[in-house]
Amino acid sequence: MDLRLGEKYEAFRSEVRAFLREHWPLRGADAQLAPERQEKLFRERALARGYVYRGFPRLYGGSEQAPDALEDMILDQEFRTAGAPRDIRGIGPAMLAPTLLDCGSEEQRIRFIPPTLRGDLRWCQGYSEPGAGSDLAALSSRAVLDGDSWRIDGHKIWTSEAQSADYMFGLFRTEPDAPKHAGISYLLIDMRSKGIEVRPLRQMTGGADFNEVFFSDVRIPADSIVGRRGEGWKVSRSTLKHERNLIGDPRYLRNSFDSLVELARRSQRNGRPALEDSSVRQRLAEIEGYVCSQEYSGQRQFSAALRGQELATLLPILMNKLYSTDAMQRITRLAFDLLGGDGLVAPVAEEYGMASQLRTSGGWVAQYMFAIANSIAGGASNIQRNIIGERGLGLPRDPRAK
């Protein structure tokens, strides 16, 4: 594989580096602003230069650049090296906004995408339900069209960030007599609506990233539906595609592995840095093999996309999420072993979430436990294996429930 990019793209890389040297970190009075405001100001400048939200039209708050995967790759590399903020990675910008581009009405795109990309509108995802398990289509929360509004009753679970979200995108059964995968609609719900109750779920990490959400005679406008009535399953597949890509990002694996090596450098085995222990080095080498494989597979998928040959890499694309969550479990398992007695200390509040950056013992413990949950989020591993077998390898389909 020839990874050289050529003069045109190296010139683009130089242009991006010059921009970053000039604009990040912020200087003067701008540097005195709160960190969140600094990121927002910088992102506005990067947007004006066409460096963020490149796939979104300007009408919806993006920079409307012609598709160029190589420029995107260079921007990712250079922004990461500079530690500069690029596109917001939350489920709103990364999952809901592209779904609205695919399936939403023009009014929904104009109303929701710009504030979502700015970070002014926060979203949660209402998919999972008690009793449905990994079978998403077994949901029973219902929405009934009553005049000019939907009346919603039901119960969602494992809803991340529901306590702080402004809106939910979720699936609700609107045609109860239709076959299982039909009769479901995709709705956008204002979380301030009367009749919504959010209850946090305490996790084994000590944090409460997930919630239960109860709907009792909740009313939302009839135009809150994305796509056609009863075709929400089709819309949800667009969202799931973006969610799996988000979870399967090889950059997260590389960053986590680099943090693991640093932990091995700081940790002690028999009075010497654990990084010098042959058994630790063996496990690190094995894990880096998985990380490199994911990176190179990403390059292969990337090259195929550039040539318009995405179907040639269908199987690796289907494997991204499963492979990444498995590799992350290997990373955190070794980290937990390196922590020794420190692994028995419960993480504190600021170490619960993904923002811990794997700098502390508690942060690693939290990630060790969270890595298990990530194997379920966005499609459980057993479901992923079914998809790989059926769509990637052409194996017979599982019998479908009626």
Residues classed as catalytic? 243
Pairwise CA distance, residues 167 & 146, whole Å: 21
Pairwise CA distance, residues 256 & 370, whole Å: 13
Pairwise CA distance, residues 236 & 252, whole Å: 24
Pairwise CA distance, residues 188 & 126, whole Å: 10
One-letter amino acid at 173 equals: R
Pairwise CA distance, residues 35 & 157, whole Å: 32
190 is written with which tokens?
Answer: 């204002």
Contact of 194 with 163, CB cutoff 8 Å: no
One-letter amino acid at 339 equals: L
Reduce the secondary structure of 275-305 to three states and give it as a string.
HHCHHHHHHHHHHHHHHHHHHHHHHHHHHHH
